[in-house]
Amino acid sequence: MTVYAPKGRNTGAAVVVFPGGGFKVLAMDLEGTEICDWLTSRGITCVLLKYRVPGGNHYYDEKCNCHITPKVPRALQDAQRTIKLVRSKARELNIHPDKIGVIGFSAGGYLVAQTSNIFAPTYKPVDAVDKLSSRPDFAIALYPGHLCRAGGTLEPSIRVSAKTPPTFLLQAWDDPVDPICNSTLYARALNQAGVPAEVHLFAKGGHAFGLRDKDHPISSWPTLVENWLKDIGML
């Protein structure tokens, strides 16, 4: 993981960033360093995670034209460990241990859903850090994938409960990679569990736009996120 300190005013909040890439590669610039530039400019400590790929989580394999779920969820292991490490270094990083969130894009959005709902450790304890919670205090998923299953059902391993953190979801209706049901099904589960959520669905925007789309209304998403973080008391 790479830590980027906030520029100017420090809000005390921190965000762990999960880039997308289908659990095959990582979009480290588009959905990584560029995101950290935005977050740190808003006084938020950014932690960019280079989780293990390929095959670190549920992914699509072109060779067999099928989805494969690895026995060892290495990406989730990395995510859980990183959240715990950030929490353990709260004083050193000058952040609040109860203001640590996650943001993910595409496959990284699936990792957001996993860390938001799977709190049991997925690896053997390494040290005292693993006694801390891996639950994020807030969660942001943009154009998430891997959540929508055949027949319009939510991925069964994602068991939303009252313990799921407040969540922000955003996706484009014309997303050619991950259909809109990834956000709508998850939003419905959040609603049924009584989890506070803010959901934005835009007509156009496609997929994997990060901060680079300036031609559609969906490009306003950073402002929407900032306002939401203020509403839930994180900024």
Strand partners, 16: 47, 102
| Model confidence pLDDT, tens digit, residues 215-228 | 899 999 999 999 99
The predicted-structure confidence for 149-193, as pLDDT tens digits, reads as follows: 888 899 999 999 999 999 999 999 999 999 999 999 999 999 999
Q: Is the dihedral of CA 121, 116, 232, 219 positive or negative?
A: positive
Q: Using CA atoms, how far apart are residues 158 and 73, in angstroms rounded to an integer? A: 14
Q: Which residue has the higher pLDDT, 178 or 71?
A: 178
Up-side HSE of residue 195: CA atoms within 13 Å toward CB? 27
Q: Looking at residue 62, what is its pLDDT? A: 62
- Which pLDDT score, from 0 to 100, does residue 45 have? 99
Cα distance between residue 10 and residue 175, in whole Å: 35
- The pTM is what? 0.94
Domain extent listing, the chain: 2-231
Q: Which pLDDT value is given to residue 153?
A: 93
CATH class of this structure's domain 2-231: alpha beta
For 8, counting Cβ atoms within 10 Å of its Cβ (0-12 exposed, 13-18 middle, 19+ buried), the class is exposed
